[in-house]
């Protein structure tokens, strides 16, 4: 599993305050904590408190602050192409950046895929188009195929693609999680080699009481259905242990009596 730490997001009060005060310390220590907990990459999101006109500048600052403490991939989390370019540039080249994300409208795909090609970046492709979040597996597959086509046209490698079926809060639509599990399995069959499949796990439990429990149970099922990347909180140690154990039980990583320790030594 490729874990993208979700915590550098202005939506969280501690990070939102640090952004408002231009204080790099809480940002950098959150980066270090997530990496120590096993994150493979870090999501970078300025949040909604920053006025639109300032988001590109703040993204640049946030990416630079994080890049000072790690060489790991950074996922620039923003819907605007102009802010995305600034963020990807700020993280430096060398294939260490991820575009999070593009939607499936043809004009969006063109702009964001060109950027992925230019910077040899990974790119997250959401199951969203001009009609909003695709509501069925069929509609999600249709957008995913469009995204795959745009990548192939530009020679963006399949290994750089992360298809995101979009998981929404279970308290909004209780049928959606099972449908997303089915979608994950189908995304993995779209091409050979298969694209990566990612979700923003914490969306699922927004507004619910048993947040951690809901996230943990779903992650196990999603991995069993083929999920191979997740944006979540690596500081949830139980979640991470369940993820690592799922991979052992599915024979994706080797078993030893100290497999939890072994995973942490490798990360």
- Least Å from the CB of residue 106 to ligand THG: 20
Using the minimum distance from each CB to ligand THG, give the nearer residue, 11 or 81. Answer: 11
- As beta bridge partners, residue 123 has 99, 161
CA–CA separation, 18 vs 75, rounded Å? 19
Selected binder of ligand THG within 1, 3, 5, 6 (CB under 6 A): 6
Selected binder of ligand THG within 28, 70, 203, 245 (CB under 6 A): 203
Position 9 contacts ligand THG (CB under 6 A): yes
- Least Å from the CB of residue 251 to ligand THG: 28
- Least Å from the CB of residue 267 to ligand THG: 20
- Least Å from the CB of residue 202 to ligand THG: 3
Position 11 contacts ligand THG (CB under 6 A): yes
Selected binder of ligand THG within 65, 151, 231, 240 (CB under 6 A): 231
Q: How many CB atoms lie within 10 A of CB 67?
A: 19
Under 8 Å between Cβ of 136 and 166: no
Under 8 Å between Cβ of 37 and 240: yes
Provide CB contacts within 8 A for 233, sequence distance 6+.
5, 6, 7, 202, 239
Q: How many CB atoms lie within 10 A of CB 5?
A: 26
- Near ligand THG by CB under 6 A, which window of 54-62, 106-114, 195-203, 241-249? 195-203
Q: How many CB atoms lie within 10 A of CB 258?
A: 9
Using the minimum distance from each CB to ligand THG, give the nearer residue, 211 or 264. Answer: 211
Residue nearest to ligand THG (CB): 200
Provide CB contacts within 8 A for 21, sequence distance 6+.
none
Backbone angles phi, psi at 199, to 5 degrees: -135, 160
Q: Which residues sit at the interface with ligand THG, rule CB under 6 A? A: 6, 9, 11-13, 43, 45, 77, 100-101, 124, 164, 166, 200, 202-203, 206, 231
């Amino acid at each position: 599993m490729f874990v993208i730490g979700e915590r550098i997001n202005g939506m969280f009060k501690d990070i939102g305050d640090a952004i408002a005060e231009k204080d790099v310390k809480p940002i950098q220590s959150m980066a270090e904590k997530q990496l120590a907990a096993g994150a493979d990459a870090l999501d970078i999101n300025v949040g909604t408190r920053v006025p639109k006109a300032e988001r590109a500048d703040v993204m640049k600052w946030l990416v630079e602050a994080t890049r000072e403490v790690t060489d790991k991939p950074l996922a620039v989390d923003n819907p605007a192409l102009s802010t995305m370019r600034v963020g990807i540039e700020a993280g430096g080249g060398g294939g260490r950046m991820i575009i999070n994300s593009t939607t499936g409208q043809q004009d969006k795909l063109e702009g964001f895929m060109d950027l992925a090609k230019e910077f040899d970046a990974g790119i997250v492709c959401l199951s969203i188009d001009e009609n909003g979040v695709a509501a069925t597996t069929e509609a999600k597959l249709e957008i995913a195929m469009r995204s795959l086509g745009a990548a192939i046209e530009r020679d963006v490698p399949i290994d750089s693609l992360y298809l995101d079926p979009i998981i929404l809060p279970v308290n909004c639509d209780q049928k959606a999680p099972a449908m997303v599990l089915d979608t994950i399995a189908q995304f993995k069959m779209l091409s050979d080699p298969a694209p990566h499949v990612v979700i923003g796990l914490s969306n699922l439990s927004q507004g619910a009481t048993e947040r951690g429990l809901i996230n943990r149970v779903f992650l196990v099922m999603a991995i069993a259905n083929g999920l191979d990347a997740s944006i979540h909180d690596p500081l949830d140690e139980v979640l991470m242990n369940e993820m690592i154990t799922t991979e052992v039980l599915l024979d994706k990583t080797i078993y030893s009596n100290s497999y939890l320790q072994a995973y942490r030594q490798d990360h």
